[in-house]
Structure 1
Amino acid sequence: MAKLMNWKVLLVLVCLLALAAYGFGRYTGMIQRNVYEYEPPELPEYTRPAVLVLTKANGFVHRDAMPAGENMLLDIARAQGWDITLTDNAATHNAQDLARFKAVVWNNVSGDVLTPDQRVALKSYIEQGGGWIGIHAAGGDPKYKWQWYVDTLIGAQFIGHTMHPQFQDADVLRSELESGMTAHLPDRWRIAQEEWYAFDQNPRGKGYDILLTLDEDSYSQKGESIFGTDTMPGEHPITWRHSVGQGRVFYTAIGHQAATYQIPEFQALITEAIRWAGAMP
């Protein structure tokens, strides 16, 4: 009887711990398992240049930024006369469907979201001339199962962000690179209450074009912390672009806060990024 009671107590404790972990995951925005899709949705016929937007999280769920990003991208597409499809179904990443789009935007995608076949399809799509744009969490995982994604597509491993406080005002600086993509921005662009990423290396060392950097003297630095570091030696890039085969890739670490997607300068930056990556009119 005593042994039976001990097992019952143990089972109750396990259940309580599981519920606590689930509650913690929901509270912090983390989810506990990977979800993959194998059947793509039926897509409409496109009569204009089209953009595919994937908004999906198998990692940290940016509950405010994800819908804010979708709304911004819808507004951009309407203003530019582009067709657009929003989805959380990664099975859209197949050769036939991807070929219908000029560019693919990963809107705060986190965690491992593609099957091996879908990885092959996306890599081939980009290398053969497709455009890819990653926003914030698309480059913010602490580790990746798909090494090509972090080593080549993003070009740097996320290692931490600002904490205590997490959200801070900071100055973003235009790189010396002359780019129409950032021509609308001042040389020193103050962004309010954002979360600032740091990476393990500067993609400039791989030949990537650095568009925007972070002035580390403009925010409160904590250096090493329980969540990695918010500083980088030398130049601190937060937005860059490069080519992969015949395709074009753009990534920006800006975009944790929903309010950021309402900033006209940020909207213009993403507009120009899509136009450049997708060779859009």
Structure 2
Amino acid sequence: MTRILVFSKTAGYRHDSIPAGVAAIAELAARAGLEAVATEDAAAFTAGELAHHRAVVFLSNTGEVLDDDQRAALRAFVDAGGGFAGVHAASNAEPDWPFFGELVGARFDRHPELQPATVAVADAGHPATAHLGPAWTLTDEWYDFLDDPTPRVRMLLTADEAGYTGARMGLGAAHPVAWCHQVGAANAFYTSLGHTEEVYADDAFRAHLIGGITWAARV
């Protein structure tokens, strides 16, 4: 069976939703004909181990979670076409590694308080968004990023900053929420959604999540 590696090690803030995320990805992956191998052990990042996986999912990681050799193994995996999916706080991992910022697409800056907002589908032709209507309302953390990734990615979901309080990017209706892009030979997907345990039981979010992961894994 085709495998994906789900990596949830943290070296900073740890989200209570990580176990729910791991369980949801395992269930959704199995339905898609994939085996999700979950670990918090960075020793899995070797060339030999990563060769057994089609994609790597970084799930709400924070801080420095890989050493230099493990970083090199991940980069070689991506350079060879291995897929990458980042979920929620993954944009706050490996802050001192420029390549990881390129892989995710943008770096986390801050977020306002947890609150509902409505996201708009910027691209309905992607497996992570094809199931959604034009707008989708949910409660989550609405991340601000250090810069706007829009010029360098394929934007999938956006939010209107006028529809919630505390946004500081000044992007109006084009606030980035989820996107995908190519990094070398790899498919890379990122969604900033996924803060709460409850969202991993939401059918729309679950379809968004597995759509991004399967696209990254090319299955």
Rg larger in 1 or in 2?
A: 1
**TM-score, normalised to structure 2's length?**
0.94
Q: Deviations for 1:127-159, whole angstroms, at most 9, x for unmatched residues?
A: 111011000010135x81112211x11222222
- Identify the match of residue 189 of structure 1 among 125, 130, 136: 136
Q: Deviations for 1:35-88, whole angstroms, at most 9, x for unmatched residues?
A: xxxxxxxxxxxxx111111111001111x2110101101111221221221110
**3-state secondary structure, aligned to 2:63:** coil
Contact 1:198 1:232 in 2 (8 A): no
2:10 aligned with 1:57: yes
Q: Matches of residues 67-216 of structure 1 in structure 2 within 5 Å?
A: 67-140=19-92, 144-150=95-101, 152-162=102-112, 166-176=113-123, 178-192=125-139, 194-206=140-152, 208-216=153-161
Alignment partners' CA distance in 1, 2:146 and 2:76: 26
Q: 1:61 to 1:239 in 2, by over 3 A?
A: same
Contact 1:55 1:109 in 2 (8 A): yes
Q: Which amino acid aligns with 1:137?
A: A
Alignment partners' CA distance in 1, 2:110 and 2:170: 10
Percent identity over paired residues? 36
**3-state secondary structure, aligned to 1:255:** coil
Contact 2:117 2:164 in 1 (8 A): yes
Corresponding position of 1:269: 208
**TM-score, normalised to structure 1's length?**
0.74
**3-state secondary structure, aligned to 1:77:** helix
Structure 2 alignment gaps of length 5 or more: none
Structure 1 alignment gaps of length 5 or more: 1-47, 224-228
- Identify the match of residue 251 of structure 1 among 172, 181, 190: 190
Q: 1:87 to 1:176 in 2, by over 3 A?
A: closer
- Tell me the CA shift for residue 176 of structure 1: 4.3
Q: Bigger relative contact order, structure 1 or 2, given CA contacts below 8 A and separation 6+? A: 2
Give the structure with the larger strand fraction: 2
RMSD over aligned CA atoms reads 1.5
Q: How many correspondences in the alignment? A: 218
Dislocated runs of 4+, deviation >6 Å:
none
